[in-house]
Amino acid sequence: MNLNSKTAHELIDLLKKGEIKQEQILSDLNSQIKRVEPKIKAFAHQSENLAISNKNGVLKGIPIAIKNNICSKDELTTCSSHILEGFKPPYDATVISKLKESGALIYGKTNMDEFAFGSSCETSYYGPTHNPWDIERVPGGSSGGSAASVAADEAIWALGSDTGGSIRQPAALCGVVGLKPTYGRVSRYGLIAFASSLDQIGPFTKDVCDSALLLSIIAGHDDKDSTSADIEVGDYLGSLKKDIKGMKIAIPKEYFIKGLDSEIEKSVMDAKARLEKLGAEFKEVSLPHTKYAVAVYYILATAEASSNLARFDGVQYGFRANSAEKSEGNALLSMYKQTRGQGFGLEAKRRIILGTYVLSSGYYDAYYLRALKVRTLIKQDFDKVFKDFDCILTPTSPTPAFKIDEKSEDPLSMYLSDIYTISANLAGIPAISVPCGFTKNKLPIGLQLLAAPFKEEDLFRVAYNYEQSTEWHKMKPSI
C-alpha cells in the first residue's frame, strides 16, 4: 500500500478501521529508508529503542521523525555537531513527552545544520542532506533533514525548529508544509537552544490538515518553560472547515523587489489570484523596517548563540579533546580551547565570534542594544498591519533550492536565503509555508502566510483553502 507516502490523518483512519496494522507502517518506512536514504541522508541517527506503542492516544502507532536538537531520553541527540558526539539526554523534551502520551513513535533524529547554524543543511558534522527533488541541490536549513525526510516519504511527518526560517525555508525548497508557531505557543523545554528569544519548535507535514493535527498535540502552556504562553490552544482542525470569504490579506511591497526569482514571484501571484477567487480580499501594505531584518537578526541571534554555546566545554557531556597540552601552564584552559576548537565547525565558530564581539565592552550599545530597538520597530510594523488584516502573504524563499557547495564560501549570500522568513521570528508571530508551484527545472516553490500572535487558526484556514484548490501538495519527487 506504500503506507509511508500517506498522511498521518489518512493512516489514523486506516488504523481505526482495522485495515492496516502499526507494523505495516514501520515496514513500509523502513523499506523506503533502505531504498533512498543513501542518496538523501536525511537522518543523523535512527532510533535504537523503537517499539510499537501501547498508548491509546490519537497518534497511536504513527511514527514521527525529530530534528537532532530536540532531546529524547536515552536517544542520541547531537545537534549534528562533533562537540555533542555520543550525547544521550536523560530526559524527554516536553514535545516528545506529549507525542509519546499521544501514542506516537519517535522514529529517528534528522540531520541539520550544526546547532541550527545555516540555511542549507551543509554544516552538519555528518555531511550534507540532499534535496529529494534534485540530489545535487540543498534541502534548505537548518531543519533540512526533517524537510527532506517528509518529502522523500522517509517519514510520515517530522518536527523541526525555526529560529530565522529553519522550518519554512526548507519546507519551501522541499515542497512540503512547514509551520513556525507563535513564540511561546510550543514549549522549548528540551530544545537545545540556538537563540532563546527566537527559537520555536514546529511541524513538517505532507498537508495542512496534518500540520493542524500535530500542532494541536504539541501546543500548550508548560511550567518547565518560562517563555511558554498560558493561552488556550485553538481549535486548529476546526479552522480547516471554514471558508475564507471576506478575509483580508496584506501584500507587503518590500517582499517583491529586486532579487526575487521571477518564477517564484509568478507562482506567488498566481496563488494570490486563486485566493481572490476563493473570496479573500487583498491590498498592498508597507513593512518599512523589513530592510533591517537580516542585520538585526544576525546581531541578536549570534549574540544569544555565543552565550548558549558557552556550556559546551568538554566538562559535563559530549566530546572532550584527548590530548590536553599543558604547555600554557593551565591544563583546564587548554582543554577548553582544544575541545571547542576541535568540536565546533567553521560556521559555529563564526557565529560564536560574531556574537561575542557584539556583546563585548564598547560594542554592546552600538550593536546589540540598537538591534533590540530596531527589533521593536519591526514588531510594531506587523502590529499595525494586523489591526486591519487577517494575514500577510509573501514568498517563503527568494530562490528555489541551490546547488550543494554553491554558497558555502559566501556566508552573506547564504544568510540572505532567510530574508523573507526572519521577520516573523523577530516579531514572534506565526507563519506557515505551503507548496504553490514548481520552477521549469521542477524545483518546489513555497508560499508564506503570516498572522498575528496566537492566530494560527487564521493561517490554517487560508492555507487549507488554498491547498485544497490545488494539486501542488500531492506532487512527489522521483528519487
pLDDT digit string, tens, across residues 36-92: 999 999 999 987 556 566 678 999 999 999 999 999 999 999 999 999 999 999 999
pLDDT at 157: 98
Confidence of residue 401 (pLDDT cuts 50, 70, 90): very high
Residue 291 has pLDDT above 70, yes or no: yes
Query: Is 326 an active-site residue?
Result: no
Tell me how far apart the alpha carbons of residues 171 and 44 are, in angstroms, rounded to a whole number: 18
Residue 416 has pLDDT above 80, yes or no: no
Other CB atoms within 10 Å distance of the CB of residue 187: 25
Name the H helices within 129-219.
144-151, 168-174, 208-218
Tell me the CB-side half-sphere exposure of residue 330, using CA atoms within 13 A.
6
The C-alpha cell that represents 432 in the structure block: 506557515
Tell me how far apart the alpha carbons of residues 331 and 324 are, in angstroms, rounded to a whole number: 6
pLDDT at 336: 87
Tell me how far apart the alpha carbons of residues 93 and 384 are, in angstroms, rounded to a whole number: 35
- Residue pair 161/84 in contact (Cβ under 8 Å)? The answer is no
pLDDT at 325: 52
Map out the domains of the chain as residue ranges: 3-242+470-474, 307-367
User: Containing H/E element for 392?
Assistant: strand 391-395
For 447-462, the pLDDT digits (tens) are 999 999 999 999 999 9
Catalytic residue, chosen from 47, 53, 80, 142, is 142
Question: Nearest-CA neighbor of 114 among 145, 72, 71, 75?
Answer: 145
Q: Which residues pair with 131 in a beta bridge?
A: 134
Fold adopted by 3-242+470-474: Amidase signature (AS) enzymes (3.90.1300)
For 194-247, the pLDDT digits (tens) are 999 999 999 999 999 999 999 999 999 999 999 999 999 999 999 999 999 999
pLDDT at 48: 59
pLDDT at 46: 84
Query: Is 417 an active-site residue?
Result: no
Question: Nearest-CA neighbor of 54 among 7, 4, 3, 101?
Answer: 101
Tell me how far apart the alpha carbons of residues 466 and 275 are, in angstroms, rounded to a whole number: 6
What mean pLDDT is predicted for residues 155-165? 98
Confidence of residue 386 (pLDDT cuts 50, 70, 90): very high
Report the chain's terminal Cα–Cα distance, integer Å: 18
Residue 327 has pLDDT above 60, yes or no: no
What mean pLDDT is predicted for residues 393-404? 97
Question: Nearest-CA neighbor of 109 among 50, 162, 26?
Answer: 50
The C-alpha cell that represents 404 in the structure block: 550543494
Tell me how far apart the alpha carbons of residues 182 and 453 are, in angstroms, rounded to a whole number: 6
Catalytic residue, chosen from 6, 41, 60, 67, is 67
User: pLDDT exceeding 70 applies to what percent of the chain?
Assistant: 97
Confidence of residue 328 (pLDDT cuts 50, 70, 90): low
Query: Is 283 an active-site residue?
Result: no
